Amino acid sequence: MANLIELSEIYKIYQMGDTEVRAVDGINLEIEKGEFVAIVGQSGSGKSTCMNIIGCLDVPTSGHYFLDGSDVSTLSDDSLAEIRNKKLGFIFQQYNLIPKLNVLENVELPLLYSGKEYEERVNAAKEALERVGLLDKLRNLPSQLSGGQQQRVSVARALAGNPSIILADEPTGALDSKTGHDLLELLKELNNDGNTIVLITHDNSIANQAKRIVRIHDGKIVSDGPSGRTEAKELIAQ
């Protein structure tokens, strides 16, 4: 199967005074269509920078990032924005819903930016809300929903554009344990339906819900392997 994501010798280097900070330090990573991968690391490990590159929110200092076969590592901001709209769906720790818009309008918003016609936007938004079990809440405002329901709306928003990849950045961080568990079960269902999911987390128990775990430390991948089934292959002696 062809790789949906391929990072090749990716570096992201910052200068802080006289100090060179290698936020991402020579990462090579391949993710196939339909995988559910967790990228795990503590604060400062480089996992968020890695996510920003995968999500076309940032560009590497050097190296190549192939998304669905196209090298996106040197594209302009406008081109990256277009790719984000067409190929990527984001779920963040904070739900990032617009308070004055109802649930349907919040889910529909990214489709508006991508230029879809009204009827097509509404139908896609309703279909996404049905997938997350919230079609009956489409006229509600975010303030009328629980935290778990608001996060499900953000999942629906990520799904509405039928993206190639769903990027979930600490998606359970603002939820209680039961609601967080329910959200992870939803992500598993979406993966079983064929969606490619990349989950960013610092929490091993959450990472274990994915099918594959990639661990990052000091900007490098230190292990990569199946979750909870076999020992991850050690790539760097710790």
Over residues 131-183, the pLDDT tens digits come to 999 999 999 999 999 999 999 999 999 999 889 899 999 998 888 888 889 98
Region 7-12 average pLDDT: 96
Residue 112, pLDDT score: 83
**Position 237 pLDDT exceeds 70:** no
CA distances in angstroms from 105 to 87, 111, 137, listed in the order given: 20, 10, 11
pLDDT band (50, 70, 90) for residue 1:
low
Single-letter amino acid, residue 104 = L
Over residues 177-219, the pLDDT tens digits come to 888 899 899 999 999 999 999 999 999 999 999 999 999 999 9
Q: Which of 67-71, 113-117, 228-232 has the lowest mean pLDDT?
A: 228-232
**Position 229 pLDDT exceeds 70:** no
pTM greater than the 0.75 cutoff: yes
Structure token pair of residue 72: 């996106």
Structure token pair of residue 170: 């600490």
Please tell me the distance from the alpha carbon of residue 185 to that of residue 237, in angstroms, as a whole number: 34
Contacts for 115 with CB less than 8 Å, ≥ 6 apart: none
Residue 236, pLDDT score: 42
